[in-house]
């Protein structure tokens, strides 16, 4: 592998990394450790990725911060003080900034820079990466650290451009403070972003109207300040906690694991167990039993429990009924984690509009019309989600062998081997790409798993004098089939979720993340590497020189 000093041109790199979120930052750190010349391009004005864009009120991580944090530097995990069980977005962004400072990352990151295209040149096995301003850089490897939930999706609502007030998208929130005091605000959507922001906006707005198409399951976060003892207990046990997250926990979150199915307990015992998890709060509610994502009857017991809690919290029976999800198994869409979401509907200034019964007819200059009713609004918040997992990759015009466009290859759904590479696109890696555990897990654990693997792979290529690497077509076909087969054995495909691409009109329906879990997947990629990168095609420098001379 060409080391940094072998490049004379200033615009030639060993590796170009796209994105400076948690994946891109750690990748850069590891590439430096390998002595490679790397450049990171980031569309945003600073590090942080999805946490840079998602600044909506109430934005928080739904994984506990002591676990949603890097494990690769013990000094870092020992010194950083998380203030709350679930850190708010500004704190996560400060953490990202702290990591960038501490490891001096910014000097190799070019901000406010979009990557427009990446074209592979088969004559010299180099990628030409074209930036938004038209400048070209060349690199042997391109690593897409573009994130799974970073491409905010604007809904195609009639009349949207006529609206006279401010329009906000939760996934692309302004950097200046937004004050809704005294305003009539409308929120479209009731996914995780809406569920986090609604209680906060409700405290400011004179009137908040929530436009719901599909009700979602949400469990209380029970967020609280972390005590010094709680922090210390994590710090003292970090080696074991991090090991467990990687090796034993399907979703990369250390928790008490269930040892039985929902019907192995009596009705009373089951209710007690759900109550205990509900009282403790957080995503681990779904870990009460080991068959909640597999068996519909088991799932119904958990779903019924949550529906009962909604009926208990929400005073108006009609509103409670509308808020009770009835069209998908609990957990088949990522379960939401909230602070006072359902209780917000007991406020006099909050009302719920059922878009399923009365779809949006149009946005007008002064509000939203649905079911023949005009709802006057001063501000409109679109909490309508993301073109998830593939959206940010699709925005880059990526051309591999024979000029084939990745978007064309993926037109019927993303195809990768292990979520790491796509056949026909040599030396192009994805971090947490479709076909890997990614969004079904603690993203930081998934990111570290991939960055470590890619780093080891680049080192192995250098040691063996290899020039290119790409996924073998048959291995990729087998993996895509396996990812879908595993998904079909669960309740996940029963929901119209963004896991399936169902939230983007026209997007092919294919289950994108790998359900096998972090430990199984981690072992798989480890074995693949140990077996000489089985399922990948690698070529040596000598072969390539011969090819180039032809």
Euclidean distance between CA atoms 509 and 488, whole angstroms: 13
Question: Which CB, 192 or 416, lies closer to ligand NA7?
Answer: 192
In contact, 246 and 252? CB cutoff 8 Å: yes
Which residues does residue 188 pair with via DSSP β-bridges, in sequence order? 211, 382
Instruction: Supply angle C-alpha 278, 321, 86, rounded to 5.
Output: 30
Considering only residues 60, 184, 334, 507, which one is a binding residue for ligand NA7 as defined by CB under 6 A? 334
Out of 21, 189, 287, 400, the only residue in the binding site for ligand NA7 (CB under 6 A) is 189
Of 429, 439, 522, 463, which Cα lies nearest the Cα of 15?
429
Do 305 and 330 contact (CB within 8 A), yes or no? no
Among positions 203-262, residues that touch ligand NA7 (CB under 6 A) are 213-214
Q: Which is nearer to ligand NA7, 337 or 466 (CB)?
A: 337
Map the footprint of ligand NA7 across residues 136-165, applying CB under 6 A.
149, 155
Pick 77 or 196: Cβ nearer ligand NA7: 196
Q: Give whichever of 141 and 386 is closer to ligand NA7, judged by the CB atom.
A: 386
Which of 197, 255 has the CB closer to ligand NA7? 197
Structure tokens at 202: 């409700």
Q: Is 141 exposed, middle or buried (0-12, 13-18, 19+ CB in 10 A)?
A: buried
Q: Which is nearer to ligand NA7, 193 or 468 (CB)?
A: 193
Q: Give me the 340-379 binding string for ligand NA7, x by CB under 6 A, dash otherwise.
A: ---------------x----x-------------------
- The structure tokens listed for 298 are 């088991």
With 0-12 CB in 10 A as exposed, 13-18 as middle and 19+ as buried, what is 123? exposed
Query: Min. distance of Cβ 283 from ligand NA7 in angstroms?
Result: 10
Taking the C-alpha atoms of residue 151 and residue 521, their distance in angstroms, rounded to an integer, is 26
Q: Quick check: 503 binds ligand NA7 (CB under 6 A)? A: yes
> If DSSP codes are grouped into helix, strand and coil, which group holds residue 224?
coil
Nearer Cβ to ligand NA7, position 388 or 406?
388
Give Cβ neighbours of residue 245 (< 8 Å, ≥ 6 apart): 67, 71, 252, 253, 254, 442, 445, 518
CB distance 108 to 38 below 8 Å = yes
Q: Nearest residue to ligand NA7, using CB? A: 191
Q: Considering the rule CB under 6 A, would residue 193 count as an interface residue with ligand NA7?
A: yes
**Which residue, 169 or 399, has its beta carbon nearer to ligand NA7?**
169
Q: What is the DSSP letter of 85?
A: S
Contact 299, 293 (CB under 8 A): yes
381, 185 in Cβ contact below 8 A? yes
Closest approach, Cβ 355 to ligand NA7, in A, equals 5
Task: Give the one residue of 120, 498, 499, 536 binding ligand NA7; rule: CB under 6 A.
Answer: 498
Select from 71, 170, 390, 416 the one that contacts ligand NA7 (CB under 6 A). Answer: 170
Please give the Cα distance from 87 to 226 (Å, whole number).
10
Shortest reach from residue 430's CB to ligand NA7, in Å: 19
440 binding ligand NA7? (CB under 6 A) = no
Contact by Cβ (8 Å): 16, 93: no
Measured from the CB atom, the residue of 190 and 319 that comes closer to ligand NA7 is 190
For ligand NA7, the closer of residues 188 and 323 by Cβ is 188
Interface with ligand NA7 includes 383 (CB under 6 A)?
yes
Question: Does residue 89 bind ligand NA7 (CB under 6 A)?
Answer: no
- Which of 374, 480, 373 is CA-nearest to residue 436? 480
Contact 69, 95 (CB under 8 A): yes
Which of these, 393, 533, 521, 368, lies nearest to 458 by C-alpha position? 533
| Among residues 77, 190, 209, 455, the one that binds ligand NA7 under rule CB under 6 A | 190
User: Minimum distance from CB of 447 to ligand NA7 (Å)?
Assistant: 14
Query: Can residue 385 be called a binding residue for ligand NA7 (CB under 6 A)?
Result: yes
Q: Which stretch binds ligand NA7 (CB under 6 A): 38-46, 160-168, 237-245, 383-391?
A: 383-391
Tell me how far apart the alpha carbons of residues 115 and 20 are, in angstroms, rounded to a whole number.
Answer: 12
Strands 397-399 and 166-169: unpaired
Is 192 a binder of ligand NA7 (CB under 6 A)?
yes
Question: With contacts defined by CB under 6 A, how many residues of the chain interact with ligand NA7?
Answer: 22
- Tell me which of 49, 191, 424, 493 binds ligand NA7, using CB under 6 A: 191
Q: Which of 89, 197, 324, 384 binds ligand NA7 (CB under 6 A)?
A: 384
* Phi, psi (rounded to 5 degrees) for 381: -110, 120
By CB under 6 A, name the binding residues for ligand NA7. Answer: 149, 155, 170-171, 188-194, 213-214, 334, 355, 360, 383-386, 498, 503
């Amino acid at each position: 592998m060409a080391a940094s000093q072998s490049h004379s041109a200033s615009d030639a790199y060993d590796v170009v990394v796209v994105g400076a979120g948690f994946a891109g930052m750690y990748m850069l750190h590891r590439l430096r450790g390998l002595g490679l010349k790397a450049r990171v391009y980031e569309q945003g004005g600073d590090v942080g990725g999805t946490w840079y864009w998602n600044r909506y009120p109430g934005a928080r991580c739904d994984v506990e911060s002591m676990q949603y944090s890097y494990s690769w530097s013990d000094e870092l995990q020992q010194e950083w003080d998380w203030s709350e069980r679930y850190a708010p977005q500004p704190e996560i962004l400060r953490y990202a900034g702290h990591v960038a400072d501490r490891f001096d990352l910014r000097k190799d990151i070019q901000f406010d820079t979009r990557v427009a295209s990446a074209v592979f040149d088969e004559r010299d096995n180099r990628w030409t990466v074209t930036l938004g301003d038209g400048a070209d850089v060349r690199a042997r490897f391109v690593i897409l650290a573009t994130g799974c939930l970073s491409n905010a999706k604007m809904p195609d609502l009639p009349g949207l451009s006529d609206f006279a007030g401010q329009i906000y998208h939760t996934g692309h929130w302004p950097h200046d403070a937004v004050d809704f005091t005294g305003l009539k605000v409308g929120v479209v959507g009731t996914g995780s972003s809406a569920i986090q922001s609604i209680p906060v906006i409700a405290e400011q707005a004179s009137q908040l109207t929530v436009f719901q198409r599909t009700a979602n399951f949400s469990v209380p976060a029970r967020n609280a300040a972390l005590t010094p003892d709680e922090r210390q207990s994590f710090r003292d046990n970090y080696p074991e906690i991090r090991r467990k997250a990687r090796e034993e926990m399907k979703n990369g979150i250390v928790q008490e694991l269930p040892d039985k199915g929902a019907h192995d307990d009596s009705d009373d015992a089951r209710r007690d167990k759900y109550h205990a998890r509900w009282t403790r709060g957080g995503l681990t509610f779904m870990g009460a039993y080991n068959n909640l994502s597999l068996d519909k009857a088991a799932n119904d017991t958990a779903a019924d429990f949550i529906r009962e809690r909604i009926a208990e919290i929400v005073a108006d029976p009609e509103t409670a009924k509308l808020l009770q999800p009835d069209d998908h198994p609990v957990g088949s869409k990522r379960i939401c984690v909230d602070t006072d979401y359902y209780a917000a509907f007991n406020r006099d200034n909050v009302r719920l509009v059922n878009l399923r019964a009365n779809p949006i007819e149009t946005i007008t200059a002064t509000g939203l019309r649905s079911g023949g009713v005009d709802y006057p609004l001063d501000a409109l918040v679109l909490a309508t989600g993301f073109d998830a997992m593939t959206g940010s990759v699709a925005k880059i015009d990526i051309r591999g062998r024979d000029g084939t466009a990745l978007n064309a290859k993926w037109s019927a759904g993303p195809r990768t081997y292990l979520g790491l590479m796509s056949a026909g696109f040599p030396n192009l890696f994805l971090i947490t790409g479709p076909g890997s555990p990614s969004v079904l897990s603690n993203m930081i654990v998934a990111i570290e798993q991939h960055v470590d693997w890619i780093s080891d792979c680049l080192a192995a290529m250098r040691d063996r004098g290899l020039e290119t690497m790409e996924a073998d077509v048959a291995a990729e076909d087998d993996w895509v089939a396996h990812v879908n087969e595993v998904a079909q054995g669960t309740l996940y495909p029963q929901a119209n979720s963004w896991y399936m691409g169902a939230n983007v009109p026209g997007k092919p329906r294919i289950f994108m993340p790998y359900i096998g879990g972090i430990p199984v997947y981690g072992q798989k990629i480890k074995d693949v590497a140990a077996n000489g990168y089985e399922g990948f095609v690698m070529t040596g420098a000598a072969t390539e020189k011969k090819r180039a001379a032809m």
